[in-house]
Structure 1
Amino acid sequence: MRRLLLPALALALLLLGGCATVPFMPLADKAPAVDQARPLYLMSVVLRNDHKPRWQPRVLNVILTKEDGRAKPEWFALRMDPKGVVKPVEEGGKTTYLVRFTGEQVPVGLRGFFAQGSAFPIHGYYFVPMHAEVPRFDRGVHYLGSAEAVVRERRDGEFRAGAVIPLIDQAIAGASTGTFDIVISDAYEHDVAMFRKAFPALERVEIESAVLAPWDRAKAQRYWDEN
């Protein structure tokens, strides 16, 4: 069972992604204003599968942990909504996912993203392991950067891009046979313009830059090895 716990959890939550039990991200509705009582975090995400190009992942959920004094952090998921999906203007371009979540004044960890790649009749499920600590703010809107995660062929011992089961589907889609390389960059001007266009409530709101530290592959690997 070792090294299967996190991918199995990822797959389970992915299957819940279309259910009403998983709430949408903030600003999914037509809210006229940003909730000023809690911090709001913004991040753009681009996924690409170079290992099995027919199966290009799309973000379904962002997975977060909340430190509220319990023995173990509380895990929770938020669902991507159509307003947060920016299709490429040119053919062959990249789809960008506009991720949003609140911090509720407690330490929050960005564990990763659950994603699905489909090419009939096979569906692959992926977990993008961010394992990033989110800067803590009491309020305001904060830009965390742009994450680009690319699936490549997995080498011996590297964490997998997704669960092993179901065996055939996950292997064909490159989830169990691939791994992720992730780069976090600062694309503030470009991304803030996209967020404001997609979500009018952000148009007149100050958005502060709080870009996450570079992605730590060793940390993601340790989590995989220990779970």
Structure 2
Amino acid sequence: MKNVIKALFAALAIAVLSGCATSLDKTATTVDWTKGSVVALSVELHNEYKPNYHPTHLGVVMIKKTGTDSRQRIPAFSAIPAGTNAYLVTQQIQPGQYTLSKIYGMSQKFPIMGGIDFAIDAPFEVAPNSVIYLGRIAAVNKERANKDDQSTGGIIPLIDQAISGYGSGTLSVVLKDNYDEDVKVLKREFIAVEKHDVIRSPLKTMKLERTTGSTAALIEVNLPTAVVATQDAPTPTLPVTGK
């Protein structure tokens, strides 16, 4: 019974992570702006702790702060390669202010399936009718030595999380601008955005949550100031719909 449940979970996870959580249509020739602006970023994760179990899918969860999008929690997952252990993540969302709240993912190497679920807080803004690049989140899974650090993933299932290192590891994260390489992948994979200018707006700051119950200060990660100056984009007038 355990193997049956695990197989069903794996099938569902793959279906979700491999594209059901993104509204971008790879076969579309034009962008449907009624679905919102196009947001793209890449997520890179190297499993230094257990190097046989690098991720096979990665993504993020976006939380709406203000704006007109009907969704409060918006997942975006991907298996589109954007380099070694890196994946291009895309989503269409309405203009507004958002934050990335989680790095999600999985490492599937039969019979082990490790899960990644790491809480973050990285604010960004979306202008109307735009294609926006948020940069690259580059992370390394290391053995968790500090009890205040959150684990890269949960501890269940026990064997999978222990063997993959995501249950007893934690993430070291840096923010990067990988515009040229990532935009090349974006335009190759999505015909609809091929002729559009892509606004260069890498995430400037991110906070990493601590483990549940910890009183330690959050870990702040900042984009190096010398990397790139964010391009100007139209500033929408946005109604506040919730926090």
Superposition TM-score tier, normalisation by shorter sequence: 0.7 to 0.9
Q: Say which is worse superposed, 183-192 or 105-114, in terms of deviation.
A: 105-114
Unaligned runs of 5+ in 2: 1-8, 216-243
Q: CA deviation at 1:109?
A: 2.0
Instruction: Kindly indicate whether residue 40 of structure 2 is the aligned counterpart of residue 50 of structure 1.
Output: no
* Distance apart, 1:224 and its partner CA: 7.3
1:112 aligns with 2:81: no
Looking at structure 2, the residues matched to 195 and 141 of structure 1 have their Cα atoms a distance apart, in angstroms, of 10
Q: CA deviation at 1:54?
A: 1.0
Please list the CA deviations of residues 182-214 of structure 1 after superposition, one character each: whole Å capped at 9, or x if unmatched: 111112122212211222222210111111113
Against the structure 1 CA distance between its residues 223 and 201, is the aligned structure 2 distance closer, same or farther, given a 3 Å change threshold? farther
> Given the alignment of the two structures, is residue 30 of structure 1 paired with residue 19 of structure 2, yes or no?
no
Q: Answer 1 or 2: which has greater strand percent.
A: 2
Contact 1:147–1:184 at 8 Å: present in 2 too? yes
Per the alignment, in what secondary structure is the counterpart of residue 101 of structure 1? strand
Who is 1:17 aligned against?
Answer: 13
In the alignment, what sits opposite 2:170?
A: 179
Letter in 2 for 1:151: N
Aligned counterpart, 1:9: none
Between 175-184 and 135-144, the greater mean CA deviation after superposition = 135-144
Q: Residues of 1 paired with 2:28 and 2:118: CA distance?
A: 29
Report deviation, 1:99: 0.6
CA contact under 8 A between 2:151 and 2:211: conserved in structure 1?
A: no
**Paired residue total:** 201
Please provide the CA RMSD for this pair.
2.9
When normalised by structure 2's length, the TM-score is 0.71
1:120 CA drift (Å): 3.3
Q: Deviations over 1:104-146 (max 9, x none)?
A: 1233221223211133322211124332112231221111001
SS of the residue corresponding to residue 182 of structure 2 reads: helix
2:210 corresponds in structure 1 to 221
Distance 1:195-1:117 versus aligned 2 partners, 3 A rule? same
Between structure 1 and structure 2, the one with the greater Rg is 2
Shift of the 216–118 alpha-carbon distance from structure 1 to 2, 3 Å rule, reads: same
**What are the Cα deviations for residues 151-182 of structure 1, in whole angstroms up to 9, with x where unaligned?**
00101221000001222221221111100011
Identity of aligned residues (%): 27
1:85 aligns with 2:75: no
Q: Is the Cα contact below 8 Å between 2:60 and 2:102 reproduced in 1? A: yes
CA deviations on 1:66-90 (whole Å, 9 max, x unpaired) are: 2369xxx93232342x5x334x5xx
Structure 1: where are the runs of 5+ without partners?
Answer: 1-12, 89-93
> Per-residue deviation at 1:60?
4.8
Question: Residue type matched to 1:221 in 2?
Answer: R
- Runs of 4+, deviation exceeding 6 Å: none
